[in-house]
Structure 1
């Protein structure tokens, strides 16, 4: 039992990034920033903005985004410090292993498996919906049997399955190719967002910003809890640590720059949206950006935004699947999951087995299962990981003050504590059903760990060899 609380030395973690099973180092600060933007800017800016304005914040949506940006920013600073110390694949899982011990690393890793797998399936279903909408505008009607799961009266959500398998093949081909495609997609969707701002800015009516806080500060904070999830994705940058040319310098830049850029975009878009259309008209609208352009008669712009949303969701899928495969890779290398998951293609230097398994599992979820409320599990899993990483910074500062930290989180322990408190508060805002499902997933994870992980852990086997 005492082995489950053992931490892994930073030197041993870094040594694991060398040799035949290491991943190819091809990424720089620009590619990392693009990965972050690719993961963050997607369903959040194209869907959540309207819902939050109509149901919670009203025109004060800008304040909700700022509050959420602070909460996420605190966590991002903690991630940035860890990423500069431990440039190893696995993100929060690896940080937990170094700072808190194996059992906490497993808990984070298990949370992230839930976060990414469910998120990938959910986003793929949204991607399929946009494809169907665009095809219909072109006069092409796909049968419902190929657009819905068996639980929804269909046979399979075929577009969702196809895009996930295609992205899996791209990731197998190589991280450099994947990063280049992601950068192109990110540029396209940023151009579309800027175009929306330019087209709509001239139609702003300041009267639409009154009353500014229709539901008071309570509505602003409820809106902050809602739009927080529009920021989820910056943590995916740290999963690429092992494939970065100068990780100690570039990882913190990628994490912080991507979050700052997305925050500015969210604030400007929320101001324009609520200035062009009265906030209450966004109720029940699933595509608020396109809806706003339709309301002012720019229908061609609305169609273009739909295409931009499709690109946005594609890059989210790419980065999320990338992150999931790297977490599987790191956990299998530590023995907590079967070793075959860590197999690396000798030619492309990519974790081929984990990529195949993740793409197939996500395709099954997206093609044959209704996601519904289960998608909220993505949020609670992410928030739990943020809390553990934030507290981990404090523990490692006290335990190993001697470690060289190329990037230091400011005002420790204040910033990590604020990050943990913000995330804890947002967890309380989630539904009871989500919390119960999370507890069940957590319990299942502990069973898997004690039946398999703890027995096959490299930390445990090394301890047994030393004892013998």
Structure 2
């Protein structure tokens, strides 16, 4: 209570009050009560297993960044040692994932970092982290949605040939372009997620599998071109480490962005059938698969084109185009669109749940 203009000690204590952690017996009792109630209680349905978690994690992690970062980091930092930078960034992401896995196993409830900080630190810090997460997912999701229409424009022959309901409109009084395609996609994804976690994870899994197939195409087709042409990208004057160890580590700092998204797995902890077993496995499989795909793609693309000759905007499609495979641009653009859609689902999922 306030006394005049002063805060009492009880007011300050409220800022640091912590939420009690439910014990395993409490969680079991709550689950039994929800089951006895026919699943109509306030607790979320436990419908996710390791394959669902892996699909959500991989879909949220593999975004369009891999289709751009390869060229930028190779040119400016790592050179042919781009694969080593991806490995270092993956190890750093794995350390963070271990922390998420430990906390989500101990406190398997929706809320992710907000819930953990509420239990361990206090309400004031949890309030700040909760709003930071909302901003992160909102701004990140809108940015991802905004990047889909330029990739779709390739299939229509350019931005000016998009259908009127997908083309950007410049609003004078806002002095900014409005993207109807992004708005429509956000509404569709939100409606999908509101149907249920099982349905949305199924769709996420299908999109993720299609995206992985396209990345495997890049690896296999690029590897065939590399063996046929003698891997010209590795025959460069400055060798494998043109900028030394500093270039490799600075490149890994930038590439850490490509691993962001695995934390979406932790936000589904309350809906996992066996969180103590499935959450660590889901996060571990997510990062292992993403790291493997990233490293293999970087090995191929850096080997096809010398790092200093890479296109920083479209490194993968331009690398195939140099070998006369212009049609591969459509395959790679399809992968970029699917990756953006999967990332959008991963960005909106924690907010819906």
What range is the shorter-chain TM-score in? 0.7 to 0.9
User: CA separation in 2, counterparts of 1:129 and 1:245?
Assistant: 39
Task: Note if 1:57 corresponds to 2:85.
Answer: no
User: CA separation in 2, counterparts of 1:305 and 1:31?
Assistant: 25
User: CA separation in 1, counterparts of 2:127 and 2:330?
Assistant: 44
8 Å Cα contact 2:233-2:307 kept in structure 1: yes
Change in 2 beyond 3 A, CA 1:69/1:149 = farther
- Give runs of aligned pairs for residues 69-468 of structure 1, distance below 5 A: 69-136=90-157, 140-142=161-163, 146-147=167-168, 150=171, 155-204=177-226, 205-209=230-234, 210=236, 211-285=239-313, 287-326=314-353
Q: CA RMSD in A?
A: 2.4
Count of matched residue positions in the alignment of Structure 1 and Structure 2:
325
> Which of 7, 14, 22 is residue 3 of structure 1 equivalent to?
14
Q: Report the secondary structure of 2:178's partner residue.
A: coil
**Deviation per residue, 1:209-237 (Å, 9 max, x gap):** 23222222222222111110000000010
8 Å Cα contact 2:311-2:318 kept in structure 1: no
Structure number with greater Rg is: 2
RCO higher in structure (CA 8 A, sep ≥6):
2
8 Å Cα contact 1:237-1:255 kept in structure 2: yes
User: CA separation in 2, counterparts of 1:103 and 1:325?
Assistant: 23
User: CA separation in 2, counterparts of 1:148 and 1:46?
Assistant: 27
8 Å Cα contact 1:144-1:154 kept in structure 2: no
Change in 2 beyond 3 A, CA 1:63/1:106 = same
**Deviation per residue, 1:116-169 (Å, 9 max, x gap):** 111101111111211122222799444699325548976521111111111011
Structure 1 residues 64-73 or 147-156, which shifts more?
147-156
> Where does the alignment leave 5 or more consecutive residues of structure 2 unmatched?
1-11, 35-40
User: CA separation in 2, counterparts of 1:113 and 1:138?
Assistant: 31
User: CA separation in 1, counterparts of 2:171 and 2:265?
Assistant: 35
Q: 1:112: Cα distance to partner?
A: 1.1
Change in 2 beyond 3 A, CA 1:291/1:150 = farther
In the superposition, the TM-score normalised over structure 1's length comes to: 0.65
8 Å Cα contact 2:160-2:167 kept in structure 1: no
Structure 1 residues 181-190 or 46-55, which shifts more?
46-55
Q: Report the secondary structure of 1:43's partner residue.
A: coil
8 Å Cα contact 1:145-1:155 kept in structure 2: no
Q: Which has the higher helix share?
A: 1
Q: 1:207: Cα distance to partner?
A: 4.0
Q: 1:248: Cα distance to partner?
A: 1.6
8 Å Cα contact 1:58-1:212 kept in structure 2: yes
Task: Note if 1:38 corresponds to 2:62.
Answer: no
**Deviation per residue, 1:65-88 (Å, 9 max, x gap):** 111111111111111111111110
In the superposition, the TM-score normalised over structure 2's length comes to: 0.86
